[in-house]
Structure 1
Amino acid sequence: MTKSVTTTRNGDVAVITIDNPPVNALSFHVREPLMEAFEALRDDASVAAIVLACAGRTFVAGADITEFGKPMQQPDLRALIATLEKIEKPTVAAIHGTALGGGLELALGCHFRVADKAARLGLPEVKLGLLPGAGGTIRLPYLLGPQKALKIIVSGTPIGVAEALDGGLVDAIADGELVAAAIEFARARAAEGKKFPAVRDRRDKVEQADLAAFDKDAAELAKKARGLEAPVACAQSVRNAITLTFDEALAKEREYFVKLVSGDQSRAQRHLFFAEREAAKVPGVGKDVAPREIRRAGVIGAGTMGGGIAMSFVNGGIPVTLLEMNSEALDRGLATIEKNYAISVSRGSLSEEAKARRMALFTRSTDYADLADCDIVIEAVFEEMAVKKEVFGKLDKVAKPGAILATNTSYLDVDEIATSTGRPQDVVGTHFFSPANVMKLLEIVRGKKTAPDVLATLLSLAKKIGKVPVVVGVCHGFVGNRMLASRSEESESLLLEGATPSQVDKVFADFGWPMGPFQMYDLAGLDIGWRNRKSLGKTAIIADPLCEQGRFGQKTGKGFYLYENGSRTPTPDPEVEKLIDDKARERGINRRTISAEEIAERTLYPMINEGAKILEEGIAARASDVDIVWTNGYGFPIGKGGPMFFAELEGIGKIVERLEYWHGRTGKDIFKPSALLKKLAASGGSFSDPKEAAA
């Protein structure tokens, strides 16, 4: 056999071992010898049973995603599984680590599955804009029942071994060494001297299914899909498992897969999959740069942001010293944290014991000296330079040598903040997104003197606390908020010229955003933008008068919309529409009908233009980093792949043409196409290689 697939014998039990690090992906160089092994052992009379196992840290964790969209070399996974399930002697998958996607589909081709206690099993293809393409949407419902399978397949979330055993997906949990347990299990089945049905022949659970109940669950999941095609296709394919024969359902599954894999949504989601991994590769931070050890964190500020950041660390098992100016503020902050954990307990996602363990990791403090033993300290105080510099001056006096001093700033100059210390190499920006214990994005802001090992530490730390990190450079607003400002600049102009907040928001919702800009302003609080504008000496024609009336959004029950009786559902407000009319009249603007297309061009295209400028300036290392920022921090639809990927789908030439049109109409700089956009449009180049396009 080849190095990637080997066969050994334990008496009359053959053990096939896949060894294709790091995750034993089912590449062609694995599939080909695996097929040879199946065929040889099928016909070997001295073999009574077969165990399929994997070397390394995991069972097969999926197909080789780099092969998607290319001509598939045979045998493909479907052929492998078809051969495997026709073997009449008992076959057993020995599962450790994760059996995901094609890995679980391969295991479903065996008669039985034995797993270790830490194993996790799932079909995450939906997260790549796909559905399982080798029978997963048919065989999993056969074993678990359609409704349980539907939830797993449409969410893409793996399940633990206990749940898998309870549902019938796993037949035994290994007590001791996994492969040895699987061999004994296989030998015992062989000793029974009978033929065992393949999974494809076990239709009991689908024949007993309640189709009406299934359709109700599927409809609810479709609502949550927000325009994504893969979850809907997954649900339909699982339904086919109930209503069609196995072979008919399998053929339909393949039809759906082929359509999805060639579509823009799957291309976009696969782009994001690789982009997230590329984002961890930071110029100047090689694999030889060792991260610093983080045993304790300090967080300054126990408000909404500080409390969320502290929870993120504690959720990752890192003790936190939480500092506030007085005990009352600390009490409020910790009470909010405890309430958040209590909600998780009530939902069943956290046990009371786990909640108690997490709360025990918090240490209260009102004294900066208590931060002396922290390996990283993150301030989450008011977004004002003078306040931030005062905090860092104090930190410089108490923090131990080598401690990382981080600022959770959304806009401010990290290099200026660093001048308040004698250790600029230890200063870095850590821009968390609210609510920080939920939102995944972490913009790591690299100052001019930030040390490489500080960046390496934060990249490693982000993974530990469940964040998706992107390293960016220093500029006002960094990547996300700088582009957001460009997207937002036309918002009020659109209102004054004839649009309504609900019309603009509908365009965004139809595009796939979780909410439109005016709903977002109300959710975040209009006072935040108001305070930022004041600090910059800027004004807003409509938002400022709303703030002056105390209309700060959801928290006051009024903003751009009404929120009656504590509701979070926005209702158009005639008072706001009158304010818009009045302000337009004052400026001599004749309001007109504005199309959805115009709204999209005047909001999304300037954002893309600003992203191109960010790339020109080196604030982001690559276009895919910009896409990761926007899909993980701002709700850009994953089915569109992020703003820069979407720009290429839309056509860079078209975007440049429309930007020039609106620049001519308005004279605004946000519509003046960047040099990079113009070069790419002229050359037909791509953001993935702007140097080549510019050559």
Structure 2
Amino acid sequence: MTDVVTYTRHDEIAVLRIANPPVNALSQAVRQGLSDAMDRAESEDGVKAVLIVGDGRAFIAGADIKEFGKPPMEPNLPDLCTRIEASPLLVVASMHGVSLGGGLEVALGCHYRVAQPSARVGLPEVHLGILPGAGGTQRLPRLTGAEKAVEAITTGRHIKAPEALELGIIDKIEEGDPETVGLAYARDLLASNAARRPVSEMPNPQGIDWDATHAALLKKGRGQLSPATAMRAVQAASELPFDEGIKRERELFMDLMNTDQRKGLIHAFFNERAVSNLPELKGVAPRALQSIGVIGGGTMGAGIATACLLSGLNVVMIEMSDDAAEAAKGRIGGNLAGALKRGKINQEKHDNLLSIALEVSQNYDSLKDVDLVIEAVFEEMDVKKQVFAKLDAACKPGCVLASNTSYLDVNEIAASTTRPADVIGLHFFSPAHVMKLLEVVVADQTAPDVVATGFALGKMLGKVAVRAGVCDGFIGNRILSTYRAVAGHMVLDGASPFQIDDALTDFGFAMGPFAVADLAGLDIGWATRKRKAATRHPDERVPTYIDRLCEQGHYGQKTGEGYYIYEKGKRGGTPNPKILELIKDEQQTLGITPRDFSDAEIVRRYMCAMVNEAAEVVGEGIARRPLDVDMTLLFGYGFPRYWGGPMKWADIQGLDAVLADIERYGQEDAWFWQPAPLLKQLVAEGRTFDDLNKEAA
């Protein structure tokens, strides 16, 4: 036996206690320890039952992530679960905290399961691009039925103990010390002469409409393979004897192990955690955060205030008039009402947040005691400078002054104060209380502890915080402007906006660029084009057909007409026939003969433009690492998680192939398609973007 599994006797019951902090991950040592302890229990006279229990805060939280990507080591988990289930002794799992993935599969290999009221179980493997590979797809449906098992496995959601009891996943809920509870349950089972109850010997679940379910899962997952493949494993549980079903589960598991999607999802899993681990912040303590100021109570400001309130921070909201202050409080109240409805807070908490934790004021002096203030006013430099001058005068020394700007120069904003070291950009994404991305924009003079404070706030708010340098658009919006531009070029050359949107949603994006433009408001892009017109390079191709629509007062979803027509009460929009006429007129004016584009070419050009600009962003140090780009696009721009981000996508495609395509496109438009120096360097050296991530770790 290993040190991570201890063996004790309580009369007729052998207790196997897992102690692999912090969450009892199923390392090789844990697997070996459980196997050895089962051998010992079966060899000792008088042992009639085995109780498996976890130390610390969880039963078994799942696989050991330290073993990801390494050769498998014996005993493997499927064999361990089979070995536990085959024991002639009565085997009981006493579960607390989380029992996820392999942890739940171990519990399903036991004959009985008791859990604490607060326990949660789940099989989240689909989020890593695989499926439960230790019998989970075969045992769970025998307990819950096929339909419930498919839902649980393909969503990977956590299931709370009361629902798990209702579904038949656990047999009893009992509060108390897990070992004490488990021993009492095991004794009751022995006293009642309860039989061993291997899940594998239970009847096959009844079938469902497998093909329709498979198609629905592919559609819902926007092409992600693992949920639909996991469903096929559950189908095997319905149609095959258990041993054959296990073999089928293993085949499907190995199929997924070899997919590019698994590579992308593993990359996303690890780097979601690594992105806020910055070497420059090691040993740097953040400033204290208890009270937050928010300037401007529009949609963005109200969302930021809501996020802060829900995280336990006090908020002082500044607005310009009584009416604006009342409207801001109403927006925040609406957001909190949504949190109440979803069960995130109770009524008492809701009322306290609105009446005690939130203060709405028109006086900047109300900010004198806040620890950090976030400006969320109109995206106009002069307006922001006026606000920061007031903040400079009103806020206490050491208060962090943050701008929620999407594009503007944070250095210029900082220079308008007497304390540029206290100034930082905190770029939230709308709706700010929902979207997970936070760009922490570090200006030239921003103090290290101010940067640390930005990341500390992101953690408090449950955000994925990414460090960005100062440039027009920072990481996300700068790259967005480039891939949005190439979409515009393809429209001029013959692809319709609707084909482009469809091709990119088929690729896995949450929305296509033209649907996104409608959602954001076409007037934003219109204003940007007018702002940049005077300094635009003569070789830059900028479609202007959509400006004709804006001139008529049509700005997308908020006016009911844009690239798509939106009707009240209907979800989504239908293609606007005016758009094709406007495009045709511009093509004729420019002397362009439109050509056909395949969906594959649309995706390739779009992605190559994205990767090339991202390489520029990393090369310039705006993003310190390629993974910073990947996490920005994943959490702020609807990039398909199963590709891992644009840089991971490029690594999977092969950087040499991506560069070759960029150079080929450059023969048509040399100004736009200029290969990034960093991309050329990596190809010449035979290296990848991920190599840069490892060097920076």
Give the corresponding residue for 1:527: 523
The match for 2:273 is 277
Given the alignment of the two structures, is residue 402 of structure 1 paired with residue 398 of structure 2, yes or no? yes
Residue number in structure 2 paired with 1:460: 456
CA separation in 1, counterparts of 2:150 and 2:663? Answer: 48
- Structure 2 contact 2–32 (Cα < 8 Å) conserved: no
- 1:34 positional shift: 2.0
For residues 37 and 96 of structure 2, what CA distance do their matches in structure 1 show?
21
CA spacing shift, 1:457–1:15, aligned 2, 3 Å: farther
In the alignment, structure 1 residue 613 sits paired with structure 2 residue 629: no
Matched residues in 1 for 2:349 and 2:162: separation?
19
1:80-109 per-position Cα deviation (integer Å, ceiling 9, x unaligned): 111111223332222222111111111111
Residue 644 of structure 2 corresponds to which residue in structure 1? Answer: 641
Aligned to 2:235: 239
Residue number among 662, 676, 680 corresponding to 1:659 in the alignment: 662
Tell me by how many angstroms 1:415 deviates. Answer: 1.9
Aligned positions of 1:18-29 closer than 5 A: 18-29=18-29
1:451-485 CA distances to partner (integer Å, 9 max, x unpaired)?
A: 33333333333233221111121221111111111
For 1:293, the aligned partner's letter is A
Map of 2:174 onto structure 1: 174
Change (3 A) 1:452 1:211: same
Query: Match of 1:127, as an amino acid?
Result: H
Report the counterpart of residue 538 of structure 2 in structure 1: none
Q: 1:86-101, aligned counterparts within 5 Å?
A: 86-101=86-101
Does the aligned pair in 2 maintain the 1:51–1:182 contact within 8 Å?
yes
Residues of 2 paired with 1:482 and 1:3: CA distance?
52
| Cα gap change, 1:683 to 1:301, in 2 (>3 Å) | same
Amino acid paired to 2:691: D
Segment of structure 1 superposing worse, 434-443 or 124-133: 434-443
- Secondary structure of the structure 1 residue equivalent to 2:555: coil
State whether residues 94 and 178 of structure 2, in contact with CA within 8 Å, keep that contact through their aligned partners in structure 1: yes
Checking the alignment, whether the CA contact within 8 Å between 2:61 and 2:103 is kept in structure 1 is yes
After the TM superposition, which residues 312-327 of structure 1 pair with which residues of structure 2 at under 5 Å, given as runs? 312-327=307-322
Deviation at 1:589, TM superposition (A): 1.9
Structure 1 Cα separation of the partners of residues 146 and 343 of structure 2 = 23
Aligned position for 2:539: none
Q: Which amino acid in structure 2 is aligned with residue 512 of structure 1?
A: G
Matched, 1:335 2:337: no
- 1:393 and 1:112 map into 2 onto residues whose CA distance is 66
Shift of 1:603: 2.3
Match of 2:683 in 1: 681
Superposed CA offset, 1:345-369 (max 9, x none):
6667766556445544432222222
1:333 to partner: Cα distance: 2.9
Task: Sort the Cα spacing of 1:221 and 1:111 in 2 relative to 1 into closer, same or farther, 3 A.
Answer: same
SS at match of 1:592: coil
Structure 1 window deviating more from structure 2 (429-438 vs 4-13): it is: 4-13
Q: Secondary structure at the match of 2:14?
A: strand
Aligned to 2:562: 559
Once the two structures are TM-superposed, the CA of residue 380 in structure 1 deviates from its matched residue by: 1.1
Please give the per-residue CA displacement for 1:49-99, whole angstroms capped at 9, x wherever unaligned: 222122233222111234345432111001111111122333222222211
Query: What are the equivalent positions in structure 2 for 1:499-518 lying under 5 Å apart?
Result: 499-518=495-514
Indicate if the aligned counterparts of 2:482 and 2:613 stay in contact, CA closer than 8 A: yes
Show the counterpart of 1:160: 160
Residues 457, 141 of structure 1: alpha-carbon distance in 2 compared, 3 angstrom cutoff: farther
1:120-159 matched pairs, under 5 angstroms: 120-159=120-159
Tell me the equivalent position of 1:630. Answer: 633
Give the conservation status (yes or no) of the 8 Å contact 1:142–1:202.
Answer: yes
Matched ranges for 1:516-595 at <5 A: 516-537=512-533, 541-565=544-568, 567-595=570-598
Task: Note the C-alpha offset of 1:443.
Answer: 1.1
C-alpha deviation, 1:266, in angstroms: 0.6
1:447 aligns with 443
For 2:195 and 2:569, locate their aligned partners in 1 and report how far apart those are by CA, in whole Å: 63
Equivalent AA in structure 1 for residue 300 of structure 2: M
Look up the SS of the partner of 1:132 in the other structure. Answer: coil
Contact 2:207 2:235 in 1 (8 A): no
Work out the CA distance in 2 between the residues paired with 1:405 and 1:692.
33
Structure 1 residue identity aligned to 2:398:
G
Aligned residues: 687
SS at match of 2:34: helix
1:528-584 CA-to-partner distances (Å, cap 9, x unmatched) read 222333444467512322221111001111112222446443322232211111122
Where do 1:363-512 residues align within 5 Å?
Answer: 363-512=359-508
Q: Is the 8 A contact 1:680 1:690 kept in 2?
A: no
| Alpha carbons of structure 1 residues 540 and 400: separation in structure 2 relative to 1, 3 Å | farther
Q: Quick one: which amino acid aligns to residue 551 of structure 2?
A: E
Rate the CA distance shift 1:126–1:606 in 2: closer, same or farther, 3 A. Answer: same
CA spacing shift, 1:263–1:418, aligned 2, 3 Å: same
| Cα RMSD, aligned residues only | 2.4
Larger CA deviation: 494-503 vs 458-467:
458-467
Identity of aligned residues (%): 46
Give the residue type in structure 2 aligned to 1:177.
D
Change (3 A) 1:62 1:475: same
Which residue, 279, 285, 292 being the options, matches 2:287? 292
Query: Residues 172 and 620 (structure 1 numbering): CA distance in 2 closer, same or farther, change over 3 Å?
Result: same
Q: Is the 8 A contact 2:625 2:693 kept in 1?
A: no
Distance apart, 1:219 and its partner CA: 5.0
C-alpha separation in 1, matches of 2:350 and 2:545:
44
What SS does structure 2 have at the residue aligned with 1:490? Answer: helix
State the Cα deviation string for residues 130-155 of structure 1 (Å, max 9, x = none): 11111112222222333222222111
- 1:598–1:147 Cα change, 3 Å: closer
Gapped runs of 5+ residues in structure 1? none
Deviation at 1:267, TM superposition (A): 0.9
Q: How many angstroms does 1:225 deviate by? A: 1.2
Cα distance in 2 between the residues matched to 1:588 and 1:103: 64
1:192 aligned to 2:189?
no
Q: Give the counterpart letter for 1:320 in structure 2.
A: V
- Counterparts of 2:252 and 2:322, CA distance in 1: 59
Is 2:486–2:609's contact at 8 Å kept on the other side of the alignment? no
Q: Call closer, same or farther: CA 1:412–1:115 in 2, change over 3 Å.
A: same
Shift of 1:437: 1.8
Is contact 2:442-2:469 (8 Å) kept? yes
CA distance in 1, matches of 2:218, 2:669: 41
Q: Distance in 2 between matches of 1:656 and 1:263?
A: 23
Question: In 2, are the aligned partners of 1:685 and 1:692 still within 8 Å (CA)?
Answer: no
Q: Deviations over 1:284-319 (max 9, x none)?
A: 101x33333322222222111111112222222323
* 1:256 counterpart letter in structure 2: L
TM-score by length of 1: 0.93
* Distance across 2 between alignment mates of 1:685 and 1:156: 35
CA distance in 1, matches of 2:150, 2:70: 28
